[in-house]
A and B are shown apart, each in its own frame.
Chain A
Amino acid sequence: MTNRYSFGGDEHIFVEVDESMSLEAFFKALSITNAVRESRIDGVTEICPANASFQIKFDPDRIKPDDMLAELKRLEAAAAQAPSVIETRIFEFPVYYNDPWTHETLMRFRDRHQDPSATDLDYAARINNKASVEEFIAAHSGAPWFVSMVGFVAGLPFLFQMVERARQLEVPKYLRPRTDTPKLTVGYGGCFTAIYSVRGAGGYQMFGITPVPIYDPKSEIDYISDDTMCLFRPGDIVKFKSVDRAYYDHVVEEVAAGRYAPKVRNVTFSLDAFNADIDGYNRKLEEVLDGH
């Protein structure tokens, strides 16, 4: 993996770490962007890690584009030497799979889907060789996910599952994007889960909905920082938990009453230790969530 650098006009450098998605590519992008933040280069205005790439916005009146490029190449070399370890957070997120709201929405847009006669979950289960929707949900909620990018719209996390490639779930996006997606839909496109932070257009397959708000433009929610108004940041780990309608309704009420906060713990993640024993490492992460 050698970075490919390209200027995005006179104010951005776009850096593709790898064409393909992998935890290694994501980790390299995250390490370099962390190093850019720590080095406090004068003239850098935005530092944006993405799934297998990243982007730096800079002010060319303060740092020349070629000098900015040289700085990034220097940091790439330094990051290659650093151990792949980060201090991060792990969240447990309840998901009501196969819920009535995304179901109602997906039925309205059947003409834009690959398989108009099935639901998004039926279709995803079938093309991923799962015997049933339940088996598919078990795979989706069975292993944790990395927040590999936050964006598209405010606070929307892209999540990449922490399993080897053979176990990655893959689905195409809708043939034509929908004009509507319920707020807090848990969707899927390519190899990424997304949680839609706001209601709006979307092209991802819809699997369920979470009762836990992740974006707070009115600063009403205690567990979301007023400094960013977004819950997630790249590098966070999320474990989904399949819940029923009663639990979903309960959390919605608790959120409305200001009594709810998602379960979250601080955790150290080592890519090498993870790769040495993926399932064992994920079990340890779950133990951290459970307070062991």
Chain B
Amino acid sequence: MAIEVEAPGLATTVQDLGRPGYYHLGIPLSGAMDRLALRAANRLVGNDDGAAALEVVFLGPELVFRADAMVAVTGAELPPRVDGVVQPTWTSFAVKAGQTLAFDYLKAGARAYVAVAGGIDVPVVLGSRSTYALGALGGHEGRALRAGDVLPVGRGRPAAAGREIPAALRRGPGGSPVSLRVLPGLYWHRLTEAAGRQFLADTWKVAPEADRIGYRFRGGRPLEFMPHEQPFGAGSDPSNIVDACYPYGSIQVPGGTEPIVLHRDAVSGGGYMMVGTVISADMDLIGQLQPHTPVRFVAVDMAGALAARHDRQAILDKMQSHLA
């Protein structure tokens, strides 16, 4: 079984739950930016949570199926059409051999996950099928899809059509501004007290430079640093540090002006101070933010971060019992 890529979309990549264990060599986790949506798509079609699917950004691809398949689209509201007939999102549906899966314009969110029963069966590289485009590693030839690509699909036992994730369990960014919960730390102490307050008080907007490596934000006031003699090897700007590791979700502020939140394809380290880290429970939400979306960074403590992690897991558990 295989899928032909008639049109690739904007930056469609093969992603699974990622490639842990190589961050010390600069090879990031990669994998779906919205992991909860990927798991949901896989569960709908009867795959394991970690099967590889397509991550579609903003603009959908056109895919021709060479054999019958069971498919589900989750995450962003990107309505699928099979030979022109609209299909529901967050619901499994059948595609017959020779039919074309295409998409309407994006209605909400940023990244949709297209799971196919059996999973996208590209080679496993360092334990994962995820695409790490910056390193030309994994996925389909280490890059985003192009017209003419043919994607192999594995064998699976497809679930039935019409299986659905209830609306209450479809998690996405809500409210305006969207709240991203942050554990302050790392080099937070290098900010003046006023700058720290202001970072949390200002409304920031997602910049056009927002991708799998990181999301940049604009619109808040520039941050002031505490007076500090720059240490040997750090560089001359007060936002410079001796090059260090970057946590996933860490918020660096080069020059004190535009915060960047590192995501699944993070650069693993560098020389900019970080003011804190977006908690694990809210990383999925970042992957669904469109440029210009207003965002507030909301401080939480470790107990708050762990409680949010627990709540997110509870959604997955409910999904499981609903689909069982």
Contact = CB atoms under 8 A, between A and B. Distances in A.
Contacts, number: 187
A280 interface: no
A166 B46 CA distance: 63
B247 A152 contact: no
B20 A233 contact: no
B299 interface: no
Interface string A6-37: 11111110101011111000000000000000
A97 interface: no
B23 A229 contact: no
Contact of A217 (B24, B137, B268): B137
Nearest to B236: A172
A12 B281 CA distance: 14
Contacts of A151: 23-26, 245, 267-269
A228 B247 contact: no
A153 B135 contact: yes
A14 B244 CA distance: 9
Contacts of B21: 45-46
Interface string A32-64: 000000000000011111111111010011000
Interface stretch (A128-136, A138-146, A154-162, A252-260): A154-162
Contact of B243 (A10, A11, A170, A192): A192
Interface in A192-231: 192, 197-198, 200, 215, 217-218, 228-230
Interface string A114-150: 0000000000000000000000000000000000011
Given A7-B185, A10-B309, A11-B247, A45 B278 contact: no
Contacts of A234: 24
Contact of B25 (A51, A154, A189): A154
B242 A154 contact: no
A191 interface: yes
A46 B240 CA distance: 24
A233 B25 contact: yes
Interface residues of A, number: 57
B305 A9 contact: yes
Interface residues of B, number: 52
Interface string A227-243: 01110011000000000
A7 B276 CA distance: 9
**Interface SS, B side:** mixed
Contacts of A8: 183, 185-186, 247, 249-250, 274, 277
B143 to A, nearest CB: 11
Contacts of A7: 183, 185, 277, 302
B306 interface: yes
B22 interface: yes
B297 interface: no
A47 B243 contact: no
- Chain A CB within 10 Å — which of B22, B25, B137 has the most? B25
Given A9-B183, A47-B24, A198-B136, A172 B280 contact: no
A22 B25 CA distance: 21
Contacts of A155: 25-27, 135
Contact of B235 (A10, A46, A154, A189): A189
Given A10-B305, A46-B24, A217-B135, A173 B235 contact: yes
Interface in B265-324: 267-271, 274, 276-281, 302, 305-306, 309, 313
B137 A51 contact: no
16 contacts: A9-B276, A11-B248, A14-B186, A19-B234, A48-B23, A48-B269, A60-B306, A60-B309, A151-B267, A152-B243, A189-B235, A190-B235, A190-B243, A197-B26, A217-B135, A229-B126
Interface of B: 20-27, 125-126, 132, 134-137, 142, 183, 185-186, 231-236, 240-245, 247-250, 267-271, 274, 276-281, 302, 305-306, 309, 313
